[in-house]
Amino acid sequence: MLKDYVPPYNATVVQKLLDQGAVLMGKTNMDEFAMGSGSTDSAFGPVRNPWSYSASYTEQTGAAPDSDWVVSGGSSGGSAAAVASLTSYLALGSDTGGSTRNPAALCGIVALKPTYGLLSRHGLIPLVNSMDVPGILTRTARDAAIVLDILQGQDMRDSTTVPAPSSPTELPEDFDVKNICIGIPKEYHAPGLSDETLAQWSRVADMFERAGARVEQVSLPHTQYSIVCYHVLCQAEVASNMARFDGLEYGHRSKVDASTEAMYATTRHEGFNDVVRRRILCGNYFLLKQNYQNYFVKAQKVRRLITDDFKRVFSSGIDVLLTPSTLTDATRYHDFIQEDNRTRSAQEDVFTQPVNMAGLPAVSVPTALSRLGLPIGLQLIGPALQDKKLLSVAHWIEQRVGFPSIRDFEDSSERRNEIGVTKTKQTSAV
Amino acid sequence: MAASSVAASELLYNMKKQILILHPKASCLIRRISTRSSRHYSQPQPRAKSAPEQLVGVVGLEIHAQIHSNTKLFSGSSVRFSAPPNSLVSFFDASLPGTLPVLNRRCVEAAVMTGLALNCTINRKSLFDRKHYFYADLPAGYQITQQRRPIAVDGMLTYSLLGGKKRNQVMRKNVHIKQIQLEQDSGKSLHDDLRSQTLIDLNRAGVGLMELVMEPDMSCGEEAAAAVRELQLILQALGTCQGNMSEGQLRVDANVSVHRPDEPLGIRTEVKNINSVRYLARAIDYEIRRQIDVLQRGGRVQNETRAYDSKTGETVPMRDKEGLQDYRFMPEPNLPPLIVYEDNTSLPTGTDACQAVVVQKIREGLPELPSVKRDRLVQTYGILPEHSFTLVNEDGLVEYFEAVLKSTKKEPRKVIGWVTNSLLGHLKQHDMSVSQSPVSPPALAELLELQETGHISSSVAKQVFQEMWRSSGKTASRIIHELDLGLVSDMAQLHSICQKVVDSNPDVVQAIRNGNQKVLNKLMGLVQKETKGRADTALVRTILLEKTS
């Protein structure tokens, strides 16, 4: 739909970076209109996880990258791949249901989903206006903190933004975990959770305990309804947000011009892939007068219950929640596409989307490699506007887990030239 | 609002039902409603006549008023009439992806002001929604409106009709305002049938509108027209809308149905494409007649949208769009709830008063509303109510009137006729506005002074006025001098003329002597003819009476 569209203005977050002297290296690939959790449904083809070409993966599994490569996660897979392959120190993504944290976990980098309203959405093509946030993908938590400082703040052009809380830029080097209480939500022991991810979860929880933090089990009882609720609200908003793509003012326009209706219909059929079209049709169904109460309004009510779950937990002494980011490490592309987009999204988003429903900040931090040599990440969730604190805790974890850096695939030299990734230690931008 | 109008409406409310036939041609029946909230009539009165129950019209109005503001409702593009196509379109107006609405404060204030002037309850918290439908002039595929909770509800508009045999009896009527909501205007589509294409101009897309819904409290075209006229005056006085129907600043759609009183309301049709207040009355009356006709022939009225054709004076069914539309209303997620504050004390701590919309401040700043103005004019100057109507109805006429009064000692009641008949008549004839009048207030005042002090007669004064109109800038005294129109001041000359007339009409004189006073006028007419209207009427009468006694 937007193949030949060049936007005539800069998004607020982009402009802020440019004003600070950032150099825009390029735009990255993603699932079309941010719908997906694998970055496999794009007009430009799927995104390959850089770890597919790493020594850890190829050596552990004997896999041939060109046929056995793994997905990068999604929908901001391209951005995660850019940072993970050391092409860039920073990439922006969008996070509506986990679209930034999911690929970050699968690509072994840090991702911050800021509190809703902290970063301006002016210029972010909307998926679900009430849940979208621009996401920050970096190599380390400290980098994320620097970027957050620049990007956060009220924007007149976005009526849903809030003033940024005042906090020091630098993350403390010696964050004292003795003062914090980590919550482990029991409902996040989801079916399909790999034993390795579970092990990492326990490992980091134990780390906290040994260091003197309080670690407690908590309950978020409405978690099980979250994914369905998310789908209803997401699709309803999608149907609404996509209504503007009619080929009239910009973007792809079909050659059919028998009537305005015919032009609209063909333009939208040609311009959207079937994932997008499916969501639009579902969304319109939910918004019909006869269905509105039963679907949309009910979902909003359930959303409030989910938000209240978090509120209750955070007001009972818990500072941060620790959960997995994804069910497993990255899946092979050929296995991934065996299930359709809808099913995959429902499965993969289970840990990440309740956070979007509640508008809370969350960080994904890589902790270790799996037995396949692929990254595993864990998620930290905090109360609203406590993004900095969250990053401090993430930094604490980073300092202690010893996550390895990505190394190139040591094979024939022609391979090396193709990929052009050089051996480096995992460094931060500063 | 004037207390008297409220009292009058209370009176109306408590009055028992009567049916008056005002204007047989239009078959317009006026009903007095006994209770405010219900459409059911208690205490049916025995009919004065034994005529069968007649079908009466029921009219409600849906009015879209374009807010008079510098920029649009949710974006910074300018609001201007007749600009080059697509020159006032911002990224948001064109629905470019990633753009978000930002609410225009002036539009909120305009809606609150209008709500207060119409006695509405202002909702402290109101919400915005998306109304979805696909149309070329709606770039986003949805309109942002206020369906769930509009900014103002539950108001009343009091308007007046001139009725009675001589159409000089002022009758006050009320119509309930269901709600006022803020919403976006759409763009304009121009159909080019020659090339089978439609041209879209988005200049108007996103302009702020106030949608006013008037309950079906009216019963005919005349009432609706009067209500709309009053609304126009109010909006213009407030400055919230310029109210020009021909320029599309005020758009009125009528919901018309017919029924027998005491029975439930009939099926209604919506009448659109009405470009003036006059057409509004005609369209509604036509539609009422048409529906009555359909029912009397045993047919059924269809729920449909009809367009008014001003050439034929008829309503015709509009092209059916797509049957019943489901607008898939959804809350607008990019706009938080709109909160207006009652007064400065209710502002949350830390909020600057200039940043918020404070109802009390707006209430205090309301200008004089037309009905109040009219009452004031009647009170202050002792003019008749129907005169005050005419004054307030015409832009600038009140100011003109008051300016004339400043420069003359003549009583307002004597000046008003000049302003509402002579001046206004000439203006209308030449399709001019008050500001374009070639006769300025001081000039008119001078003319009236000359008449008052006896320099010219009333008929001459009218003649002089014509001259003044034609030769703009020439003063009355100059014209009188040039054309030698001054009253005859030479008493001897006057006497001799009168004598001459008396002498040449002996039989009339005889009739007068016999007691017939009326024929004196005949003699007076002859004297006036001799003097070319320059004789003082009262004086001539006295002299003639003297001579014929």
pLDDT tens string B203-249: 999 999 999 999 999 999 999 999 999 999 999 999 999 999 988 99
Query: Which residues on chain B are in Cβ contact (under 8 Å) with A126?
Result: 97-98
CB contact under 8 Å between B130 and A240, yes or no, is yes
pLDDT reported for residue B191? 87
One-letter amino acid for residue A143 of the chain:
D
Higher-scoring residue by pLDDT: B488, B383: B383
Per-residue pLDDT band at A425 (split at 50, 70, 90): very low
Question: Residue B1 pLDDT more than 90?
Answer: no
d(CA B277, CA B255): 15
A5 contacts: CB under 8 Å, gap ≥ 6: A250, A251
Higher-scoring residue by pLDDT: A72, B503: A72
Per DSSP, B357 falls in state -
CB contact under 8 Å between B102 and A159, yes or no, is yes
User: HEC profile for A238-275?
Assistant: HHHHHHHCCCCCCCCCCCCCCCHHHHHHHHHHHHCCHH
pLDDT tens string A32-43: 888 888 899 888
Higher-scoring residue by pLDDT: B364, B161: B364
What average pLDDT does range A264-277 have in this prediction? 90
Question: Residue A351 pLDDT more than 80?
Answer: yes
pLDDT tens string A190-249: 888 999 999 999 999 999 999 999 999 999 999 999 999 999 999 999 999 999 998 888
Nearest one of A151, A182, A145 to A167, comparing CA atoms = A145
As a whole number, the mean pLDDT across chain A is: 90
How many C-beta atoms lie closer than 10 Å to residue A42's C-beta? Answer: 20
What average pLDDT does range A342-362 have in this prediction? 89
Please enumerate residues of B whose Cβ is less than 8 A from a Cβ of A: 91, 94-103, 130, 132, 134-136, 139-142, 198, 200, 202, 326, 328-330, 333-336
pLDDT reported for residue A65? 76
d(CA A382, CA A360): 6
| Residue A261 sits at the chain B interface (C-beta within 8 Å) | yes
Among A7, A11, A236, beta carbon nearest to B330: A236
Query: Which residues on chain B are in Cβ contact (under 8 Å) with A243?
Result: 132, 134, 140-142
**pTM value?**
0.83
Q: How far is CA A139 from CA A124, A142, B66, B205, in A?
A: 23, 9, 53, 45
Q: Which of A12, A133, A156, A157 to mutate to test the interface with B (most CBs of B within 10 A)?
A: A157
pLDDT reported for residue B481? 77
Among B96, B101, B198, beta carbon nearest to A250: B96
Task: Using a pLDDT cut of 70, give the percent of chain A over it.
Answer: 94
What average pLDDT does range B414-439 have in this prediction? 86
CB contact under 8 Å between A250 and B333, yes or no, is no
Question: Residue B31 pLDDT more than 80?
Answer: no
Among B95, B200, B328, beta carbon nearest to A288: B328
Per-residue pLDDT band at A422 (split at 50, 70, 90): very low
pLDDT tens string B79-107: 988 899 999 999 999 999 999 999 999 99
| Residue A9 sits at the chain B interface (C-beta within 8 Å) | yes
pLDDT reported for residue A419? 47
Question: Residue A295 pLDDT more than 80?
Answer: yes
For residue B303, count CB atoms less than 10 angstroms from its CB and return exposed for 0-12, middle for 13-18, buried for 19 or more: exposed
Question: Residue B46 pLDDT more than 60?
Answer: no
Question: Residue A25 pLDDT more than 90?
Answer: yes
pLDDT reported for residue A424? 41
Residues 138-167 of A with CB under 8 A from B: 156-160
Per-residue pLDDT band at B323 (split at 50, 70, 90): low
Radius of gyration of chain B (CA): 30
Question: Residue A302 pLDDT more than 80?
Answer: yes
B466 token code pair: 């014509």
pLDDT tens string B490-528: 778 788 888 888 888 888 778 878 877 777 788 778 887
Per-residue pLDDT band at B44 (split at 50, 70, 90): very low
